[in-house]
């Protein structure tokens, strides 16, 4: 049992792990993919697995797709919640639909979602959507952002090639204070390699202003950062361990670890998401020298605070 889980199980701490980004997961015993409208049995199996992994609550994540696919996936999750109650499936994180940096998101739908469709999804599935990741460049007047916020949905910026000035203006104008998997599928600065950082790259993070949304989020003290603490061993290292450590040092109490767990699709042949549970990502962070207390906070208290679930003291 790892150090973090020991602390979580110690009743004196009274904390739990909350993962804001689970696309699905697969083991030898089950497969559950929220991108493909999973059946009740698959979701039940995932929930049981996550409880064993000490992830007591999470957001099911659906990525960029057609409006009809979004609606179908949301209905499947809503039907499950109506049948079994909230349990550890807290709600949905919509990741995309209005993005400019794709990653593994399908390009044919990257800019397809419009205000009317976003409004319909929110109205048709009240209270289900808890978090929505978009690129500020594709919502320049803040219509979708304000619509989501007015309905109690936390907006995060991500999958974005927005410039430093565009991002800074959007943070200020629309009150968005969160970015999704910092360093991945977002512009940081020219020639910056987030998985193989040089010492020069790391030092520039604190001095440069000629960059993108990643740099703007890093330098703005009010912005919370979700991040993935994968590893080379597990085949899901998203950012250089030294970079992750620097991010924790910079952001202090504004870090949120997520697993971004996925059902691996070998045909893609590229980095797709996390391949282990949040507990393992947390242990990866501790192993590279990030203080246990900071890691524990990033997996429990801080994401709970962002979703306005109250804060554990």
Percent of the chain with pLDDT over 70: 92
Give the Cα separation of 3 and 286 in Å (integer): 8
Identify the band that residue 107 occupies on the pLDDT scale cut at 50, 70 and 90. confident
Give the Cα separation of 298 and 216 in Å (integer): 20
User: Please, are residues 215 and 190 in contact by the beta-carbon 8 Å criterion?
Assistant: no
pLDDT of 112 above 90:
no
CATH architecture, domain 3-8+16-306: Alpha-Beta Barrel (3.20)
pLDDT number for residue 13? 42
What global pTM score does this model have?
A: 0.93
pLDDT number for residue 111? 85
Residues 200/169/22/100 CA torsion (nearest 10 deg): -80
pLDDT of 257 above 60:
yes
Minimal CA–CA distance to 177: which of 253, 101, 237, 230?
253
Q: What is the pLDDT of residues 3-31, one digit of tens each?
A: 454 444 444 444 579 999 999 999 999 99
For 204, phi and psi rounded to 5 degrees? Answer: -65, -25
How do the domains of the chain map onto residue ranges? 3-8+16-306
In 13-85, which ranges are E strands? 17-22, 24-26, 31-33, 55-63
């Amino acid at each position: 049992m790892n150090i973090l889980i020991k602390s979580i199980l110690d009743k004196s701490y009274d904390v739990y792990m909350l993962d804001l980004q689970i696309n699905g997961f697969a083991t030898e015993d089950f497969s559950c993919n929220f991108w493909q409208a999973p059946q009740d049995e698959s979701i039940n199996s995932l929930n049981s697995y996550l409880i064993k992994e000490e992830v007591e609550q999470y957001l099911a994540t659906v990525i960029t797709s057609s409006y009809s696919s979004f609606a179908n996936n949301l209905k499947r999750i809503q039907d499950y919640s109506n049948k079994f109650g909230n349990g550890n499936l807290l709600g949905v994180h919509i990741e995309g639909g209005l993005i400019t940096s794709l990653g593994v998101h399908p390009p044919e739908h990257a800019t397809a979602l419009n205000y009317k469709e976003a409004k319909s999804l929110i109205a048709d599935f009240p209270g289900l959507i808890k978090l929505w990741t978009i690129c500020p460049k594709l919502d320049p007047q803040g219509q979708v952002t304000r619509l989501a916020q007015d309905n109690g949905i936390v907006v995060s910026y991500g999958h974005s090639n927005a410039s430093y000035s565009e991002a800074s203006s959007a943070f200020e104008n629309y009150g968005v204070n969160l970015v999704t998997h910092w360093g991945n599928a977002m512009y940081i600065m020219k020639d910056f390699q987030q998985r193989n950082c040089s010492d020069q790259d790391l030092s520039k993070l604190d001095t440069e202003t000629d960059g993108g949304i990643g740099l703007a989020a890093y330098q703005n003290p009010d912005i919370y950062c979700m991040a993935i603490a994968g590893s080379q061993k597990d085949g899901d290292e998203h950012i250089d361990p030294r970079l992750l450590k620097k991010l924790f040092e910079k952001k202090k109490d504004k870090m949120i670890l997520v697993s971004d767990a996925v059902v691996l699709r070998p045909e893609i042949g590229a980095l797709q998401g996390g391949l282990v549970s949040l507990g393992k990502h947390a242990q990866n962070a501790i192993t590279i020298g990030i203080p246990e207390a900071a890691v524990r906070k990033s997996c429990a208290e801080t994401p709970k605070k962002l979703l306005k679930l109250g804060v554990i003291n």
